[in-house]
Structures are given as structure tokens and as C-alpha cells.
Structure 1
Amino acid sequence: MPRVDHYQDPHAPAPNSLVPAASVVVVRDGKVLMHRRSDTDRWSIPGGGMEPGEFIKDTAVREAREETGYEVEIDRLVGVFSDPGHVVSYDDGEVRQQFSICFAGHVTGGSPQLSAETREVGWHTPDDLEAMSEDRVHPSILLRVQVALRDETSAYIG
């Protein structure tokens, strides 16, 4: 279903849904694992909604496999990202406030694969990501990458 990200938009629709989600920042050789989403055409870290019966870290592992083809292992918690100014509207009427637990992880196997959700899989330097415009990488994704690369022992809460 098509989606529209509303970020700090005073005209955004009011959220009517909150779905626990997980994402993972994977770094290898100084580059970040990203996939280009089929629904928005933006580059993103792997992530998505939690399914019943899952631990939240398993959501991040599953989403990485589904969206990139890579098997990952979780190393640490990056933070909790729940900005009420970031809502996503879907054509079915759902308007979801973002709520994502972000992890850092590393690749343990697999290879790049495309899916219905993914047009392209690639590894990008942090400088490349920061140079991309908002229509190529969402500010909320860039924030997660920046926080993960700080390699701090305390988690981000925001």
C-alpha cells in the first residue's frame, strides 16, 4: 500500500495507529547497509513492524533478511525513536505515528537480494548518506544512522 511520510508537517493527518517496529543499522568496512524502498524510492535501513510472537530484536533480524537478503546478528540497542511529529499515512486510511526500536548489528551471512519491498540493496558511507537530499533518505533514518555511529553506551530516547 502506498505511503506518505509526514515529518514536522503541521498539516499532517492525526495518527490513528501505533505499531511497534524495529530497525537495524549494519556497518561493514565503514559503510552502512541500506535498501531502496519500493514504496517511497528512498534509501532506508532495514526495518518494519513487529509480528505477534516475536521478540523485538528478532523483528530487526527478520526485516534485514526480508529487505536485503543478509543475515544479521544484533550487537546493541541504538535507541527508541518515537517522534510524534513523524507520521506515515497509508491509502487505506491508517495514519501511523512512528515508534521504532533501533539496533546496531553485523552481517553473519547471506547476499544482497531484492524483494517486493526493495528495489536496490547497497552499502553507503555516512558522508554519502548525509549528502543525500531528503527525498533520497528520510531525516529520521539519517538520525538513526548518526546515533548508531556514535557508538555510545547509552541508548537514544526520543
Structure 2
Amino acid sequence: MSGKGAPELSVENCGDLRVAVIAAQWHEQVMGGLLDGSLRALRELGIEEPTLVRVPGSFELPVAAKVLAEGHDAVVALGVVIRGGTPHFDYVCQGVTQGLTKVSVDCGVPVGFGVLTCDTEEQALERAGLAGSSEDKGHEAVTAAVATAAALRTVAEPTRGRQPAGT
């Protein structure tokens, strides 16, 4: 199971964080579970009014994340890509992963990666946070993004443009 070894994250005093959730529309049942898990996690963290945006598919997640990163403390991207008989799976997974990573690093805003990349629909259902699922990746993506945003706000602003004392 991929969840083995996951840390127990404890996040407090984050109700004032501005969080955006972007969810793809492909695979309605899986996406319903991911979205429900993410919204439940936000409520548990005291974040009552997240921004929610739906996009057609997982490939569109990075551009939406880029736009939403400005004005939000964290962004959570939810999607699912299921392997088929062509290399399309590899291209989409690579593009989404690299795109979301680039957004996070370039914008300095945590992006929770709730994109399932599965060989079968059954694997996706097991990770979607539905009744009987073994994992809840929507919930996990929110918790990771919010925990990172909370950690980042404890770091002092860098001294941009100032020379160190004594130079």
C-alpha cells in the first residue's frame, strides 16, 4: 500500500489560510470521492470558505493552479489519470506532475498533489476516499498543502535587496 510510512500531520491555527481546490471532471465517481475528502479536510482544519474551481481534465490543472496561486496560501489539485493502451497516460501524467511542481516552486505556494495515476479504475476507487476505499488522497493532499503553508508562514521574510550587517 502506498500510504505506508506516511507522517501523522498535525496542523493548527490555519483557519485564516486562503486555500483553492481545483478538481478535474473526468471519472465522476473517483472525482466525487477526492473532492469530498478534500472539502472534509478543509472543514476539519477550520477553513470554511475555500475557492473551488472545476476544470475539464487533469491536464488543465497546472494552468488553473498558476492563476489561483496568486491570492491563495495553498492550492490543491485533484485529478485522475487511468492507464490505457497508448502512451497518452505517460504524457499526461508527466505534464501534470511537472506543471504542478513548476507552479509551486515558481510561485512559492504549496500545491497539494491529489492526482491519482493508476493502472486501473479499481486502483483509483481504492484511493478516492469513497466508502470502502483504503485511502483518501483528497484529504491527504489538503492536509499536506495546508501543513506546508502553515510551516512557510513561520519563516521570516528574506532580506531581499539588503546587505548583511558589517559589509
- Structure 1-normalised TM-score? 0.29
- Structure 2-normalised TM-score? 0.28
Q: Which has the higher strand share?
A: 1
Between the two structures, name the one with larger relative contact order (CA 8 Å, sep ≥ 6).
Answer: 1
